Amino acid sequence: MKRILFLTMIAILSTGSILAQKSAVRDAKRALGRDDLKEARTLIQQASTNPETAADPETWKVMGDIGNKTFDNERTKTMLNQDANEKVMYDGLMESYKPYLKADSLGELPDEKGRVRNRVRKDISNILRANHPFYINGGVYYNEQSNYAKAADFFEVYWDIPTLPMFADQKDAFVLDSTYQIIKYYAIISAISADQNERAIAMLERAAKEPFIENSAYKESDIYELLASQYERVGDSAKFIETLNLGAQKFPDSKYFVPNLINVFIRSGQSDKAMEYLDQAIANDPANSCDLNSVKGALFAEKGDYAAAEAEYKKALAQDPNCERALENLARNYIIQAQELKEVTATMSSRQQQVENDKKTVELYQQALPLLEKMEQVIKARNASQQEINGVLMLLRNAYYNLSVLGVDKSAELKVVEDQLNLE
């Protein structure tokens, strides 16, 4: 008899506990109705941590309603031209979001008979649809406060809402236009600005998989450029190269992917691979011959194929006679050959061969001179730094000096250059 009485008392106490927690939810709703948001938060927080009500969709629905009420109160003030607290307004908007999602997910769980009766979804979906545009405003607000992580939160929620399961059967619930695409970009840029690199990578990968909507802010290729850049930033070289390759395939006209691949291959000593991509880049962008053919020429020069290097530099100069890279590199190409020939000549015993070699050496230095003299004019015309000017003057000094030694009088020109270099 005592055992029965004891069990009965436990049941009564258990029921009382459940009723108490249910009452906390009802009391929170009453406090919310009279705008006592502080009391409502306290009560609903208790209910959300109690096992008896933590799995009740209504608990989380009320928690979301509290945040939404905070947002609505401040937004009403703005509509009435009253002083509103923007931070409180947007924090309330964000405060509502996750509880609403949890309420909806709990509402989708089947009951003991396997039935799904989501009594909170309709109200929540209506609220989220109405609030959707204001997440842009919240992102802009926090961006202006330089709180880029929070700005990213708001922009990302704007991005997320149309993809929620509750809207799966409402294809016309949102207009996914160019604005929607631009806000994705803002979310990504905000995450990058907040140094949230892994988060930015996840966003970029998601954006790359989703349909791209043409807009005025950025191109589809920008997503892949940013993704490659982020992989490089976090030191993931494999993913960096993989993304560059993918970008080069998808956007062959881009001036980002192929040049970066070329640099990767050059740095890793894969000059043949770099050559392949250089040919592709030149074909895609012949107007950029100054840089691309100059790079190709430098790769040939590294291999000691001076004739092939010369041909590439001349192609660059045919496209742009003032191409500084080609002017300097072609001049160096001649000077290096002249210096190598001088070293060989110094080891020869045949005077006739020495004379012939000296003649070839003079020709090489003389071929370098007009290139360097033009280079000096070009860089001075664009107000180059003294360090850049001095670099060209040193090459000119080398050519004038060696020609003078080889019997071609360049003493006057040599003096002018040495005076500019302040050499005695």
pLDDT at position 4: 54
Residue type, 70: T
Residue whose entry in the numeric block shows the structure tokens 């109705």:
33
Name the stretches of the chain with pLDDT < 70: 1-22, 424
pLDDT at position 1: 52
pLDDT at position 14: 47
Q: Which helix (H) or strand (E) holds 338?
A: helix 324-346
The answer for residues whose C-beta is within 8 angstroms of residue 386's C-beta and 6 or more apart is: none
Q: 10 Å Cβ neighbour count for 212?
A: 14
Rg (CA), the chain: 36
Q: Whole-prediction pTM value?
A: 0.79
pLDDT at position 3: 55
Q: In terms of Cα–Cα distance, which of 123, 128, 148, 124 is closest to 138? A: 148
Cα 263 to chain centroid, rounded: 19
Instruction: Identify the three-state secondary structure at position 269.
Output: coil
pLDDT in tens, 354-405: 889 999 999 999 999 999 999 999 999 999 999 999 999 999 999 999 999 9
pLDDT in tens, 142-154: 999 999 999 999 9
